Amino acid sequence: MPTTNPMRMLLDLGAVDEPSVYDALIAVMSAKVASPAAIRSALVRHARQGRHGVTALRSALERWIDEELPPDSELEDRMAALVREQRLPRVVFHPVVQGYEVDFIIAGTRIIIECDGWKTHGLDRDQFEFDRIRNVDLTAAGYVIVHITWRRLRAQPEKVAEQLWRVLREWAPEAIAAASG
């Protein structure tokens, strides 16, 4: 059965449904079907050929978090969008904290945001155990860890934002002042 490679699929999708390209791009990178470098290379190569969909793919690439790293999941992407939409203080994506890579840390604070999907963090025993060990180590080092689930972020984004604001008021009021000023 003939198939299309992921980069060509992204371009073809961009030619017919531009708004869908970003979600498809995140899915391709999250599933590690294609690397960011391969997608960039394909974009450059196909742009020279005048292929339809190049503009849509280029726009999707520009939306990347930190303009370098794609989120590992749609959940992380939605979390980053919530931070922007709710004007929460700036976050750093995938920093290493105490030797652990975390999903987000609110810049200038000790508040970590972890995005937990059930499939990865609930059904995988090793990941579940690792998460608990990491949480204890980070808490012992003085960090506050806020876990956000896919279901909650999708169903109640305003409540998630409200809870993050409450955590900020309690643990990092200076970050609120910095974000406002």
Each domain of the chain, given as residue ranges in start order, spans 6-63, 74-180
Residue 124 CA to residue 38 CA, distance in Å, equals 29
Q: Which tokens is 152 given?
A: 């909650």
pLDDT of 123: 53
pLDDT of 17: 92
pLDDT of 171: 96
pLDDT of 109: 97
Concatenate the DSSP letters of all residues of 137-174 into one string.
HHHHTT-EEEEEEHHHHHH-HHHHHHHHHHHHHHH-HH
Architecture of the 74-180 domain: 3-Layer(aba) Sandwich (3.40)
- Average pLDDT across each block of 10 residues of the chain; the chain has 181 residues. List them in order: 80 90 85 74 73 83 54 74 92 88 92 78 69 93 94 92 97 88 63
Residue 139 CA to residue 137 CA, distance in Å, equals 6
pLDDT of 118: 60
Q: Which run of H or of E encompasses 58?
A: helix 54-62
Label residue 76 exposed, middle or buried (CB < 10 Å: 0-12, 13-18, 19+): buried
**Please, are residues 87 and 93 in contact by the beta-carbon 8 Å criterion?**
no
